[in-house]
Amino acid sequence: MKTIKGPGIFLAQFAGDEPPFNSLNEICKWAAGIGFKGVQIPTWDGRLFDLKRAAESTAYCDEVRGIAASHGLAITELSTHLQGQLVAAHPAYDALFDSFAPASLHGKPAARTEWAIEQLRFAAKASRNLGLDRHATFSGALAWPYLYPWPQRPAGLVETAFGELAKRWLPLLNFFDEQGVDVCYEIHPGEDLHDGSSFEMFLDLVNGHKRCNLLYDPSHFILQGLDYLEYIDLYHDRIKMFHVKDAEFRPTGRQGVYGGFQSWANRAGRFRSLGDGQVDFKAIFSKLTQYGFDGWAVMEWECCIKSSEQGAREGAPFIQSCIIQAVEKAFDDFAGAATDQQMLDNLLGIGRKDA
């Protein structure tokens, strides 16, 4: 067993135009000041990080690590959630997803996809240059608009969508492998990889690629009604990253999983600040520790009720209270006794001869 590292914080929801959230140095100083020990960096935010430069310059990566270290922080991972989304985007979402790419690519979905793929390649190199061995992203989605089987899906539609998704990602998985970095897909509604079954379909199509792994976030499973603890039992060998995010699901006579087109605050399922939702984090940390998870516990804050700054202040001590110092010896070792093969044979009655 290993002790989970943490607490870390995903900076995406905190970055902004005002200090201390508008530069890597200042946001690291802020994060360290409220108890975090690691930062997960969103690579699309130029206020904090230059992805292309990080892919090309080890000196720049040394500078980035130095900034974090000056505040007693480690860089936990890089994230390309927005770019990963654009590796595969259904035309229904073209206008909405254009904002994830440079303005020069708006209205040009093919060019946008090529840009996203290049971004992922930059991320693989940048992760290597930073000494990181795992990376966070989204899978993107081609089949998502057809999630509900009405109208009846034509035969082969899902298979074609997943075949194309695998075709786009397999060269990237190979490239990440060359850099020694795992790709950790956040399993998330809106992505074709949104639960265990969809992940398995994709994993089969990329031939069980060793770099095809998981970012575990239980909040997305609460909102789907999925057993997030058994999920760890099923996929622990592929779980390489962990977002600590809370959620609640309180269905009513008016709405359930689909939310009735309501705002986040008025949905039956909604994300909450740590400790305010229904996720059993003690059980999650126990299972992950039991299975030898050796990554970071990284807080991702998304709450429609509590302020981000309060959520962040409360987040670090909450995660710290959940981290289990992995046991190094059995609790009943004190009652043990030295053994040898003869003693074992005698205890089992092996080789006994009647007098």
pLDDT tens-digit profile of 232-252? 999 999 999 999 999 999 999
Reported confidence tier of residue 331, pLDDT bands at 50, 70, 90: low
Residue 202, domain member (yes or no): yes
> What does the pLDDT read at residue 3?
96
* Strand, coil or helix: 212: strand
- Residues 55 and 311: their CA atoms lie apart, in Å, by 33
Residue 354, domain member (yes or no): no
- Residues 281 and 157: their CA atoms lie apart, in Å, by 38
CA 299 to chain centre: 10
- Residues 173 and 134: their CA atoms lie apart, in Å, by 12
> Is residue 334 scored above 80 in pLDDT?
no
Rounded percentage of the chain residues whose pLDDT exceeds 90: 91
pLDDT tens-digit profile of 199-228? 999 999 999 999 999 999 999 999 999 999
Reported confidence tier of residue 289, pLDDT bands at 50, 70, 90: very high
> What does the pLDDT read at residue 41?
98
Q: What would the two tokens of residue 288 be? A: 């992950």
Q: What would the two tokens of residue 352 be? A: 């006994």
Residue 353, domain member (yes or no): no
> Is residue 353 scored above 80 in pLDDT?
no
- Residues 162 and 88: their CA atoms lie apart, in Å, by 10
- Residues 153 and 148: their CA atoms lie apart, in Å, by 9
CATH code at 106? 3.20.20.150
Range of the domain at 244: 5-348
Helix axis angle for 157-179 and 109-129, nearest 10°, is: 30
Query: Pairing mode, if any, of strands 134-137 and 239-244?
Result: unpaired
CA 6 to chain centre: 14
> What does the pLDDT read at residue 86?
98
Buried b (16+ CB within 10 A) or exposed e, 106-142: eeebeebbebbbebbbbbbbbbbbbebebbbbbbbbb
Reported confidence tier of residue 355, pLDDT bands at 50, 70, 90: low
Reported confidence tier of residue 338, pLDDT bands at 50, 70, 90: confident
H/E element, 173: helix 157-179
Q: Is 196 exposed, middle or buried (0-12, 13-18, 19+ CB in 10 A)?
A: middle
CA 63 to chain centre: 25
> What does the pLDDT read at residue 330?
67
Q: Which among 150, 145, 206 has a CA at the least distance from the CA of 174? A: 206
Mean pLDDT of 142-150: 97
Q: What are the strands, taking DSSP E only, across 171-321?
A: 182-186, 212-216, 239-244, 246-249, 269-272, 296-299
- Residues 180 and 127: their CA atoms lie apart, in Å, by 9
Q: What would the two tokens of residue 25 be? A: 């140095």
Residue 252, domain member (yes or no): yes
Rounded percentage of the chain residues whose pLDDT exceeds 70: 98
> Is residue 73 scored above 90 in pLDDT?
yes
Residue 276, domain member (yes or no): yes
> What does the pLDDT read at residue 123?
98
Rounded to two decimals, what is the model's pTM? 0.94
pLDDT tens-digit profile of 222-235? 999 999 999 999 99
Q: What would the two tokens of residue 139 be? A: 């899978």
Task: Give the total number of structural domains in the chain.
Answer: 1
Q: What DSSP line would sit under 218-244, residue for residue? A: THHHHTTT--HHHHHHHHTTTEEEEEE
Q: Are 236 and 291 in contact (CB under 8 A)?
A: yes
Q: Is 353 exposed, middle or buried (0-12, 13-18, 19+ CB in 10 A)?
A: exposed
Average pLDDT for the chain: 96
**250-256, Cβ contacts within 8 angstroms, sequence gap of 24 or more:** none
Residue 207, domain member (yes or no): yes
* Strand, coil or helix: 186: strand
Mean pLDDT of 95-101: 97
Q: Which residue is listed with tokens 């007693």?
A: 72
Residue 355, domain member (yes or no): no
